[in-house]
Amino acid sequence: MNHFDLEDGGLACESVSLDAIAEAVGTPVYVYSSATLERHYLVLRDALVNAGLGDPMIAFAVKACSNVAVLKTLSRLGCGADVVSEGEIRRALAAGIPGARIVFSGVGKTAAEIEFALSTGVAEINVESEPEMDRIAEVAARLGRRATIAIRVNPDVGAGGHAKISTGKADSKFGVSFSEAARLYAKASNSAWLDPIGLAYHIGSQITDLAPMEAACLKMRGLVESLRDEGLSVRRLDLGGGLGAPYFDQPDPPGVEAYAAMIARVMAGLEVQFAFEPGRVICANAGILLARVIHVHRRPEGRNFLVLDAAMNDLIRPAMYEAFHDIRPVAPRPGAPEVYDVVGPVCESGDTFARERRLPPLEAGDLVAFMTAGAYGAAMASEYNTRPLAPEVLVRGDKFALVRPRPSYESILAAERNAPWL
Ligand SMILES: *Cc1c(COP(=O)(O)O)cnc(C)c1O
């Protein structure tokens, strides 16, 4: 469920018309609904708690939507942060998320990033390889601060909506194998500078089927038990993110209740604290990308190109993952639907949001909304073609705030320097 609905004949976010936002801020622009963000977080948390999973640590995957105002909206409800870089740790801290609610993931953490993470007292650093674990121990020793770590296990389970977002197969770069995990866990337990708190996994993104998750959960349970049989202490199990959000062309993903019930069943009696790293399921349907039609190019041979002022640099998912986004006119016109290729102005054929999409008739100047654009939308945007990053607007009830303004061309150019020989 989300809070983007038709109101008085036009699409609105909560009680603010998208037309008013486009007038005030210009297009393209990302628009987020506070009510949807909050609802998705609370529904997930309640489902986990009601399934009997204790007091779970929920760390929002910052990379999915990293605007500080969005993070603050979630942080106020007690949500933590799953981060993959020093920059994301800084964002989480800026949003008021304390180190104790931050999980640091990622396959290539530098010594400087590890030092920063330890100095902020992060709850857990997820170790993805032995050289990384050794580096964490070295940095911890240098700082005189013990590092709380979890070993990220690669459960060799394929899952996720697209090959580029599947992370849990044995040949992917993420995590270590089961046998390696046991060896590293024992090694960490013997280190004065490492406190292995548990295990972590994250098998992919946009998972719409519980079966691979259940297979991974069963394997993780087995590993916890075998580590305990060796006398090792395992106190936390981080089950990653990956739960799919409903996109319009895809089968509905399992609901959070079914997800929580599956985990409760597989993990029954296993005494651990559970941690989760949800990204997309919280923010995908809480955001849209609002764009304006520049013109309709009607080829005499029959193809209609709907040319928008948003492009692949603003929303790269269709180009990168063949992702489908529902496209809705903000003020639908009456008339027979037409078939459009929906494209942006960037000089690449890949700058195509949709081919042969049936939409209500559209004309130059009309506004359209790309639905389900709150995850991996603004966060993956670039200034390719020297197009300024799309601004971000956060709505709450009948109010909205510009939470990242559109950069000026002057500021884009001012960031660059001349070489002394030019
Ligand atoms: C990307 C990522 C997530 C979030 O994935 P979603 O599919 O957005 O839920 C969680 N944990 C890790 C380690 C990630 O890399």
Are residues 109 and 11 located together in one domain of the fold? Answer: no
pTM of the model: 0.96
The reported pLDDT for the residue numbered 117 is 98
CA–CA dist 169, 44 (Å, integer) = 26
Query: Are residue 250 and residue 343 in the same domain, yes or no?
Result: no
CATH for 294 = 2.40.37.10
Residue 422 domain-assigned (yes or no): no
Same domain membership, residue 62 and residue 152: yes
Same domain, 223 and 195: yes
Does the CB atom of residue 325 touch ligand 1 within 6 A? no
Q: Please, what is the average pLDDT of the chain?
A: 95
Residue 60, pLDDT above cutoff 80: yes
The finding on whether 278 has its CB within 6 A of some atom of ligand 1 is yes
The residue among 240, 258, 283 that closes a domain is 283
Q: Are residues 27 and 42 in the same domain?
A: no
Average pLDDT score over residue span 172-188: 91
Residue 251 lies in a domain: yes
Q: Outline where 272-408 has alpha helix (H).
A: 280-283, 317-321
Domains contained in the chain, number: 2
Q: Is the CB of 175 under 6 A from ligand 1?
A: no
Q: Report how far ligand 1's centroid is from the alpha carbon of 8 (Å).
A: 37
Q: Are residues 173 and 24 in the same domain?
A: no
Catalytic residue chosen out of the listed positions 13, 65, 283, 347: 347
pLDDT at 208 over 90: no
Give the Å distance between the CA of 204 and the centre of ligand 1.
7
16 lies in the same domain as 126: no
Last residue of a domain, one of 233, 267, 283: 283
Higher pLDDT: 242 or 30? It is: 30
Confidence of residue 159 (pLDDT cuts 50, 70, 90): low
244 CB within 6 A, ligand 1: no
Which of 44-53, 161-170, 189-198 has the weakest average pLDDT?
Answer: 161-170
Q: Which residues contact 249 (CB under 8 A, 6 or more apart)?
A: 324
Q: What is the pLDDT of residue 157?
A: 82
Across 217-229, average pLDDT: 96
Q: Do 112 and 261 fall into the same domain?
A: yes
115 occurs within a structural domain:
yes
The gap from C-alpha 239 to its chain's centroid, in whole angstroms, comes to 15
Domain assignment of residue 381, given as a range:
4-32+284-414
Among 262, 283, 304, give the residue marking a domain's end. Answer: 283
Evaluate: CB of 152 within 6 angstroms of ligand 1.
no
Q: Which atom of ligand 1 is nearest to the CA of 205?
A: 7
**Does residue 384 belong to any structural domain of this protein?**
yes
63 Cα nearest atom in ligand 1: 1
Residue 125 CA, ligand 1 centroid: distance in Å: 15
Determine the pLDDT at residue 125.
98
pLDDT digits over 113-155, tens only? Answer: 999 999 999 999 999 999 999 999 999 999 999 999 999 999 8
- Residue at 419 is within a domain: no
Q: Ligand 1 centre from 281 Cα, in Å?
A: 10
Q: Same structural domain for residues 72 and 155?
A: yes
- Output the pLDDT for position 304: 95
Tell me how far apart the alpha carbons of residues 175 and 216 are, in angstroms, rounded to a whole number: 13
pLDDT for the residue numbered 7 = 87
Q: How far is the CA of 61 from the centre of ligand 1 (A)?
A: 6
Q: How far is CA 339 from the centre of its chain?
A: 31
Answer yes or no: is 52 within a domain. Answer: yes
Q: Give yes or no for a contact between 34 and 14, defined as CB atoms under 8 angstroms apart.
A: yes
The CATH number linked to 157 is 3.20.20.10
The string of pLDDT tens digits covering residues 366-390 is: 999 999 999 999 999 999 999 999 9
Same-domain pairing of 68 and 190 = yes
- Tell me which of 57, 105, 376 to substitute to probe ligand 1's pocket, judged by most ligand atoms within 8 Å of the beta carbon: 105
Residues 257 and 341 in one domain: no
Cβ(184)–Cβ(177) below 8 Å:
no
Q: Is residue 147 part of a domain?
A: yes
Q: 347 catalytic, yes or no?
A: yes
Quick one: pLDDT at residue 249? 66
Residue 176 and residue 124 share a domain: yes
Taking the C-alpha atoms of residue 78 and residue 72, their distance in angstroms, rounded to an integer, is 10
What is the structure's pLDDT at 281? Answer: 95
